[in-house]
């Protein structure tokens, strides 16, 4: 759905060539980046930026930076000592294909490249680049961002988690980057403070919706649709929305998150059709 050939072309330009040494690390980076990802975070950067009138040239590199951070997190989360996943998007995970050491380095390098890409984006004023790097770093790091979420998620595997804790985990683990991607598009598009607040609210609920539907898919989808082994959450007794609330109530929570996300957009006097379509797509996604 979100695939955008401009993003694919730019990622290809930004990544080191497979022929550059160390070849194995660069192969691993490209293997993971070009693994059929949905490009959800780049789509959010671009859709939000275009909502506020920014040209694609000013958005594309930041969009790619978010995909790099996301991909680095997938590579590291899949490692044996973390979630121990052999399969992602229907293909062997990075460490299965290239070995653990190379997978760790590929993730490390992608994180570095994300920050470098924004720092060196000459389409953006330097003040904008600094704002974006700060936004991305806060969302990716700890204690408020993605790494903190993964840390909490792992601590939670050992014990029962309540609803509030589950939301705290997901707000950091997946929500923070989704919110930051959306805000980054708005920052590049020079949104007003009120507009930035509105898209932040939109993205918070979208992030929640994303996680809820992710949990639902683990229960209901086939392995073919999912590209990974379904039922894994149940098997690992992982805290999920269906485990806490049951499937029906979880579906209602998804509908509510979708509704609230879209209502946040009502506060913006801009063409928000694409952002609404993204929310619709996440609500109805099958993989």
Q: Which residues bind its own copies (CB under 8 A)?
A: 16, 20-22, 24-26, 29, 72, 76, 79, 81-82, 99-102, 104-105, 107-109, 111-113, 115-116, 119-120, 126-127, 129-130, 133-134, 137-138, 140-143, 145, 147-148, 150-152, 154-155
Exposed/middle/buried for 24, CB within 10 Å: 0-12, 13-18, 19+?
middle
Cis peptide before 6 (omega within 30 of 0): no
Question: By C-beta, is 116 or 259 nearer to its own copies?
Answer: 116
Q: How far is the CB of 82 from its own copies (least distance, A)?
A: 5
Distance CA 33, CA 216 (A): 25
Q: How far is the CB of 118 from its own copies (least distance, A)?
A: 8
Distance CA 177, CA 171 (A): 9
Question: By C-beta, is 152 or 209 nearer to its own copies?
Answer: 152
Cα–Cα nearest to 214, from 235, 180, 239, 179? 239
Question: By C-beta, is 80 or 271 nearer to its own copies?
Answer: 80
Q: How far is the CB of 133 from its own copies (least distance, A)?
A: 4
Q: How far is the CB of 142 from its own copies (least distance, A)?
A: 4
Q: CA 284 from chain center: how many Å?
A: 17
Question: By C-beta, is 5 or 21 nearer to its own copies?
Answer: 21
Q: How far is the CB of 187 from its own copies (least distance, A)?
A: 13
Q: How far is the CB of 50 from its own copies (least distance, A)?
A: 25
Question: By C-beta, is 6 or 119 nearer to its own copies?
Answer: 119
DSSP strand E in the chain: where?
87-88, 91-92
As beta bridge partners, residue 87 has 92
Are the C-beta atoms of 216 and 82 separated by less than 8 Å?
Answer: no
Cα–Cα nearest to 187, from 199, 177, 178? 199
Question: By C-beta, is 107 or 230 nearer to its own copies?
Answer: 107
């Amino acid at each position: 759905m979100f695939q955008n050939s401009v993003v694919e072309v730019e990622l290809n330009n930004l990544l080191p060539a497979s022929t550059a040494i160390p070849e194995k690390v660069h192969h691993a980076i490209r293997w993971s980046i070009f693994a059929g990802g949905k490009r959800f975070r780049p789509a959010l950067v671009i859709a939000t930026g275009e909502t506020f009138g920014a040209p694609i040239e000013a958005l594309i590199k930041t969009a790619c930076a978010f995909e790099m951070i996301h991909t680095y997190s997938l590579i590291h989360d899949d490692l044996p000592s973390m979630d121990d996943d052999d399969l992602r998007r229907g293909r062997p995970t990075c460490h299965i294909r290239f070995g653990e050491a190379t997978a760790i380095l590929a993730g490390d390098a992608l994180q570095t490249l994300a920050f470098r890409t924004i720092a060196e984006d000459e389409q953006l004023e330097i003040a904008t680049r600094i704002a974006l790097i700060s936004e991305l770093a806060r969302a990716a790091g700890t204690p408020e961002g993605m790494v903190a979420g993964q840390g909490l998620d792992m601590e939670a595997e050992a014990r029962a988690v309540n609803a509030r804790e589950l939301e705290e985990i997901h707000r950091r683990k997946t929500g923070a980057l989704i919110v930051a991607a959306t805000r980054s598009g708005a920052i590049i598009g020079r949104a007003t403070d009120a507009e930035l607040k509105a898209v932040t609210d939109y993205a918070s609920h979208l992030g929640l919706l994303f996680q809820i539907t992710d949990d639902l898919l683990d229960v209901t989808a086939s392995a073919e649709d999912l590209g990974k082994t379904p039922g894994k959450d149940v098997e690992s007794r992982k805290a999920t929305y269906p485990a806490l609330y049951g499937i029906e109530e979880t579906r209602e929570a998804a509908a509510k998150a979708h509704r609230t996300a879209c209502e946040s957009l009502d506060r913006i006097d801009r063409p928000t059709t694409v952002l609404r379509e993204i929310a619709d797509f996440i609500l109805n996604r099958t993989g």
